[in-house]
Structure 1
Amino acid sequence: MPYVFLALAIVSEVAATVSLRLSDGFSRVVPSVVVVIGYVAAFALLSQALTRGLALGVAYGTWAAAGVALVAVIGAGFLGESLSWVQVGGVVLVIGGVLALELGGAH
């Protein structure tokens, strides 16, 4: 169950971050509102995942890595941003680090 809250926290954070780009310096109302609601929801949901027993390092590492990877892919796929092979390698390394945290922890 804590992973459901973590997944929702990741989705909320990614939506807020993409909306931050779309808000044009908070000059567009709808994306700006999504930014605020998304970040508040992301932290509330992350808090619920932690309350339900997820280890802090694993939860935060997963949240951050998934957020970085998804935002990079969305930026490249839908916002016209570039993504070099070096950047792709960096994202893979970040994800690998989170997997090492998860797999290396005592269960």
Structure 2
Amino acid sequence: MWFWLAGAILAEVTGTVALRFSEGFSRLWPSVVVVLGYGTAFFSLSQALARGVPIGVAYGIWAAVGVALIALIGALFLSEPLSWVQVGGIVLVIAGVLALELGRADVA
């Protein structure tokens, strides 16, 4: 089940990076990668949910890891600025997802 969630994250990140290069969907191949990436991401996320990952945890992990990866890719490869405040925000998002996962253990 975690394999599917990892696949959803990687596909969503791929689609988002391609979105940057699609220039408003005016370039064909990056636009095709966007559609395939997001389609694969949603299919993979649905498979993770069908195999037992709780929706709040799955979506939280998907969003947090996706945001962190996109911010890092933007800073490292696309010359986009990343301030310490933004890094702190990413850390807080990841901490929130961890709280969701750890809090699930208290409920069970």
TM-score range, shorter chain: over 0.9
Aligned to 2:60: 61
- Secondary structure (helix, strand or coil) at the match of 1:4 reads helix
Q: Percent identity?
A: 68
Aligned to 2:25: 26
Instruction: State the shift of 1:88 in Å.
Output: 0.3
Instruction: Give distance in 1, aligned partners of 2:65 and 2:57.
Output: 12
RMSD of aligned Cα (Å): 0.7
Instruction: State the shift of 1:78 in Å.
Output: 0.4
Instruction: Give distance in 2, aligned partners of 1:102 and 1:12.
Output: 22
Aligned to 2:76: 77
Aligned to 2:95: 96
Q: Where in structure 2 are there 5+ consecutive unaligned residues?
A: none
Instruction: State the shift of 1:68 in Å.
Output: 0.4
Instruction: State the shift of 1:90 in Å.
Output: 0.2
Is 1:42 the counterpart of 2:61? The answer is no
Instruction: Give distance in 1, aligned partners of 2:68 and 2:27.
Output: 26
Deviations 1:60-106 (A, max 9, x none): 00000010000000001001100000000000000010011111103
| Normalised TM-score (structure 1) | 0.97
Q: Where in structure 1 are there 5+ consecutive unaligned residues?
A: none
* Matched positions, count: 106
Instruction: Give distance in 1, aligned partners of 2:101 and 2:29.
Output: 37
